[in-house]
């Protein structure tokens, strides 16, 4: 059941709730704790670093280092409601023979003793190793890397992108392989956790029913982080993360829940979910951004080679048209004002795409952008309303904008649909001769959907009906990209099974985009 509140009601509630939550939450806490007193724990008999270490959002001179202290350990030490001092050390070698930087920060109790150190003054394009300390206990070691300086003409960059890791559906074996590759950057496109169970061949289990409270979301992240392979992948490289729907609620749209929640309830839930996301991710969060609104769209620059415009296609979108799912078009669907990005993010994106001077412009986002032509038994066109197909006017505007402002080499990265695809992004998907203005690389899930298979009837049909889609594969895995000024080369890496551990990894297929030639070619 969908709520029938009007959008104006949502806005009012949203404003009130934001004020209330900002007042009660950790806003004051973060700023005072950052320079104020935090308890120094000295002697610990148990490891507080059970969630591992991570880093993210590298710039030429900084990177966010992350850890989060085990809440059982903090409670046992009587520090459950106190800020705790956490120290970090950085070195250029994994044996820490010379420590080039040390620091201390407060891990606030209000944020579950999560520690985010935004370390500045580092050298560009350099590998660093880091570790954390609380009292007499030292964490495992993380490897990270700063971005090349903005003006540098770096010759090569290696990144991986991944999404969708339903814990119950299988093991995160793909992450074990990813960790071994020690990428320059790992991009996560969302569905890092799932808010509920689904499917029937479950190999391990979430606790409890669908999650809603802050404690629920924290417990869920704890469960996902209990997997050693995901911890290894975090420790192997800096990550740039964005969320999809399941970090909050399946197919939520702005403040509209999937099922039985009012917008006010969903906004409270969103505040819980967003706070937990921040607590568990190596991401910068300017003070004042807690609450039901948390802008995470942002740019990351990697020399002259690449600009990343990281998008959020959930928080600001209008509700899925025509009742969601694959549907015939209806009047709502035809409303040209409907948005996925929301006005502020859209303006920010369009401005960035018009002014960028990077060779490659990468849009990490969630939902399939290319049109998916599919028909019902009567031969009528069905539209997947949750994808960009559900917002065809804004998609058209974006594709025409890429063309009009001549954005250099746009590459769209997509998760969400648990399969590997590649697609040409065209001004008119229904016209074979229409201009190709960009390339879409869609990555499969880490685990969602279980073992998977190379081809399905669904995939076969889509390839037949959509000549701009050039590849379909429904194994699990990730995409490894090697980027040079001339070539975007994407190796689709797959594992043959995930319901048991130990699967090998192999390259199923390689696709490339040449600089100056938008679209996909076989590599």
Nearest distance, CB of residue 521 and Fe ion, angstroms: 28
Q: Which CB atom, from 290 or from 448, has the smaller least distance to Fe ion? A: 448
Given 65, 74, 164, 512, the residue binding Fe ion (CB under 5 A): 164
Of residues 167-206, those binding Ca ion (CB under 5 A) = 191
- How far is the C-alpha of 166 from the C-alpha of 232, rounded, in Å? 18
> What is the side-by-side strand order in the sheet with 381-384?
326-327, 381-384, 374-375
Size of the site for Ca ion (CB under 5 A): 4
CA 166 remoteness from chain centre: 14
Q: Is the dihedral of CA 251, 256, 259, 261 positive or negative?
A: positive
Q: Kindly state the tokens that stand for 237.
A: 């490289």
Q: Which CB atom, from 389 or from 416, has the smaller least distance to Ca ion? A: 416
3-state secondary structure of 161: strand
Given 57, 89, 110, 191, the residue binding Fe ion (CB under 5 A): 191
Contact track, Fe ion, 443-482, x by CB under 5 A? -----x----------------------------------
Q: Which CB atom, from 259 or from 351, has the smaller least distance to Fe ion? A: 259
List, in sequence order, every residue forming a beta bridge with 99; answer none if it has no partner.
Answer: 91
Q: What is the dihedral of CA 43, 46, 48, 53, to 10 degrees?
A: 110
- Alpha helices (H) in 129-262, listed in sequence order: 173-181, 214-225, 228-236
CB 338 within 8 A of CB 391: yes
Strands (E), 283-408: 298-302, 306-310, 326-327, 360-364, 374-375, 381-384
> Which of the stretches 148-156, 201-209, 339-347, 409-417 binds Ca ion when contact is defined by CB under 5 A?
409-417
Nearest distance, CB of residue 191 and Fe ion, angstroms: 4
Given 110, 416, 424, 491, the residue binding Ca ion (CB under 5 A): 416
Binding partner of 245, given Fe ion, Ca ion, none, CB within 5-8 angstroms per partner class: Ca ion
Contact track, Ca ion, 327-366, x by CB under 5 A? ----------------------------------------
Nearest distance, CB of residue 36 and Ca ion, angstroms: 40
Q: Which CB atom, from 124 or from 443, has the smaller least distance to Fe ion? A: 443
By the rule CB under 5 A, 184 interacts with Fe ion: no
Binding partner of 57, given Fe ion, Ca ion, none, CB within 5-8 angstroms per partner class: none
> Which of the stretches 59-67, 271-279, 442-450, 470-478 binds Fe ion when contact is defined by CB under 5 A?
442-450
CB 250 within 8 A of CB 258: yes
CA distances from residue 397 to 291, 314, 350, 400 in whole angstroms, order as listed: 31, 18, 10, 5
Nearest distance, CB of residue 445 and Fe ion, angstroms: 6
What single-letter DSSP state applies at residue 256?
Answer: B
Nearest distance, CB of residue 445 and Ca ion, angstroms: 9
CB 92 within 8 A of CB 129: yes
Nearest distance, CB of residue 191 and Ca ion, angstroms: 5
Nearest distance, CB of residue 416 and Fe ion, angstroms: 6
Nearest distance, CB of residue 177 and Fe ion, angstroms: 20
> Which of the stretches 97-105, 125-133, 184-192, 354-362 binds Fe ion when contact is defined by CB under 5 A?
184-192
Q: Which CB atom, from 448 or from 466, has the smaller least distance to Fe ion? A: 448
Size of the site for Fe ion (CB under 5 A): 3
What single-letter DSSP state applies at residue 453?
Answer: E
The rounded radius of gyration (Å) of the Cα atoms in the chain is: 22
Q: Kindly state the tokens that stand for 462.
A: 């889509």
Length of the chain measured in residues: 523
Question: C-alpha angle 398/402/406, rounded to 5°?
Answer: 165
Of residues 216-275, those binding Ca ion (CB under 5 A) = 244-245
Nearest distance, CB of residue 275 and Ca ion, angstroms: 20
- How far is the C-alpha of 72 from the C-alpha of 45, rounded, in Å? 12
Q: Which CB atom, from 230 or from 512, has the smaller least distance to Ca ion? A: 230
Nearest distance, CB of residue 142 and Ca ion, angstroms: 28
Q: Which CB atom, from 250 or from 361, has the smaller least distance to Fe ion? A: 250
- How far is the C-alpha of 327 from the C-alpha of 336, rounded, in Å? 18
Q: Which CB atom, from 361 or from 414, has the smaller least distance to Fe ion? A: 414
Nearest distance, CB of residue 166 and Fe ion, angstroms: 7
DSSP string, 505-522: -EEEEEEEEETTEEEEEE
Q: Which CB atom, from 131 or from 246, has the smaller least distance to Fe ion? A: 246
Residue 449 region, left (φ>0) first, then alpha (ψ -120 to 50), else beta?
A: left
- Alpha helices (H) in 435-514, listed in sequence order: 457-465
Phi, psi of 68 (to 5 degrees): -150, 130
CB 327 within 8 A of CB 383: yes
Per DSSP bridges, beta strands 381-384 and 436-442 are unpaired
- How far is the C-alpha of 370 from the C-alpha of 99, rounded, in Å? 48
Of residues 449-508, those binding Ca ion (CB under 5 A) = none
Q: Which CB atom, from 191 or from 491, has the smaller least distance to Fe ion? A: 191
3-state secondary structure of 95: coil
Nearest distance, CB of residue 253 and Ca ion, angstroms: 12
Nearest distance, CB of residue 188 and Fe ion, angstroms: 12
> Which of the stretches 4-12, 157-165, 300-308, 508-516 binds Fe ion when contact is defined by CB under 5 A?
157-165
**Residues forming the site for Fe ion (CB under 5 A):** 164, 191, 448
**Residues forming the site for Ca ion (CB under 5 A):** 191, 244-245, 416
């Amino acid at each position: 059941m969908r709520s029938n509140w009007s959008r104006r009601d949502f806005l009012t509630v949203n404003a009130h709730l934001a004020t209330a939550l900002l007042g009660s939450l950790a806003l004051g806490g973060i700023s005072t704790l950052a320079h104020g007193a935090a308890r120094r724990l000295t002697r610990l008999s148990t490891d507080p670093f059970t969630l591992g270490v991570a880093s993210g959002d590298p710039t030429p001179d900084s990177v966010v280092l992350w850890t989060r202290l085990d809440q059982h350990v903090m409670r046992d030490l009587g520090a459950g409601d106190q800020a705790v001092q956490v120290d970090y050390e950085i070195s250029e070698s994994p044996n820490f023979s010379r420590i080039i930087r040390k620091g201390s920060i407060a891990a606030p109790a209000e944020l579950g003793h999560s520690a985010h150190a935004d370390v500045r003054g580092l050298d560009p394009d350099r590998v660093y190793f880091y570790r954390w300390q609380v009292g007499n206990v030292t964490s495992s070691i993380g490897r990270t890397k700063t971005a090349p300086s903005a003006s540098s003409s770096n010759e090569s960059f290696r990144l991986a992108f991944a999404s969708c890791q339903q814990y119950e559906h299988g093991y995160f074996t793909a992450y074990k392989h990813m960790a071994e590759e020690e990428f320059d950057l790992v991009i996560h496109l969302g569905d890092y956790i799932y808010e509920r169970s689904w499917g029937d061949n479950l190999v391990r289990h979430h606790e409890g029913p669908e999650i809603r409270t802050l404690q629920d979301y924290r417990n869920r992240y704890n469960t996902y982080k209990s997997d050693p392979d995901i911890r290894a992948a975090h420790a192997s490289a800096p990550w740039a993360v964005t969320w999809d729907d399941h970090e909050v609620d399946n197919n939520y749209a702005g403040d509209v829940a999937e099922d039985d929640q009012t917008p006010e309830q969903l906004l409270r839930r969103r505040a819980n979910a967003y706070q937990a996301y921040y607590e568990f991710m190596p991401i910068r969060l300017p003070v004042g951004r807690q609450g039901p609104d948390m802008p995470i769209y942002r740019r990351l620059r990697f020399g002259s080679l690449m600009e990343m415009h990281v998008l959020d296609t959930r928080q600001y979108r209008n509700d899925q048209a025509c009742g969601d799912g694959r549907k015939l078009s209806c009047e709502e669907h035809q409303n040209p004002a409907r948005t996925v990005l929301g006005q502020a993010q859209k303006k920010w994106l369009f401005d960035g795409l018009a002014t960028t001077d990077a060779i490659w412009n990468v849009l990490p986002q969630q939902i399939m952008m290319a049109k998916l032509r599919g028909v019902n038994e009567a031969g009528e066109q069905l539209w997947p309303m949750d994808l960009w197909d559900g917002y065809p006017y804004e998609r058209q505007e974006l594709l025409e904008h890429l063309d009009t402002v001549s954005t250099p080499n746009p590459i769209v990265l997509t998760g969400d649909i648990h399969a590997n695809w590649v697609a040409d992004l065209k001004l008119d998907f229904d016209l074979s001769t229409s201009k190709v203005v960009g390339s879409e690389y869609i990555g499969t899930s880490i685990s969602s959907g279980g073992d998977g298979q190379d081809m399905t009837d669904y995939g076969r049909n889509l390839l037949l009906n959509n000549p701009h889609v050039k590849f379909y594969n429904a194994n699990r895995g990730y995409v490894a990209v090697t980027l040079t000024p001339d070539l975007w080369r994407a190796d689709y890496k797959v594992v043959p099974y995930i319901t048991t551990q130990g699967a090998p990894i192999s390259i199923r297929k390689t696709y490339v985009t040449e600089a100056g030639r938008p679209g996909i070619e076989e590599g």
